[in-house]
């Protein structure tokens, strides 16, 4: 599995050497949340909303406390 993952990543880097993520995030969890939200609107709007949101809710446990 690790070898296959390595081959896939190498191929993606070869095919898209200058690929950049337009979303703002600092942790894998933030990237997951911003990616889910992004399906609903533009990256610029997601970055505006999540900037403030992640100041208060920065982990899955923070979100779990909402319910």
pTM of the model: 0.54
- Alpha carbon 41 to chain centroid, angstroms: 14
Instruction: Compute CA distances 53 → 14, 15, 21, 30, 38, whole Å.
Output: 35, 34, 19, 10, 14
The Cα–Cα gap between 34 and 31 comes to 5
Could you tell me the two tokens for 4?
């296959």
Tens of pLDDT along the chain (67 residues) come to: 899 999 999 999 999 999 988 889 999 999 998 888 887 788 888 888 888 889 999 899 998 887 6
The Cα–Cα gap between 1 and 59 comes to 28
Say whether 48 sits in a helix, a strand or coil: helix
């Amino acid at each position: 599995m690790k070898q296959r993952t390595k081959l896939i990543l190498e191929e993606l880097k070869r095919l898209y050497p200058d690929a950049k993520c337009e979303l703002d995030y600092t942790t894998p969890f933030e990237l997951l949340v911003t990616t889910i939200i992004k399906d609903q609107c533009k990256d610029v709007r997601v970055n505006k909303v999540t900037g403030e949101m992640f100041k208060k809710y920065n982990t899955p446990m923070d979100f779990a406390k909402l319910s």
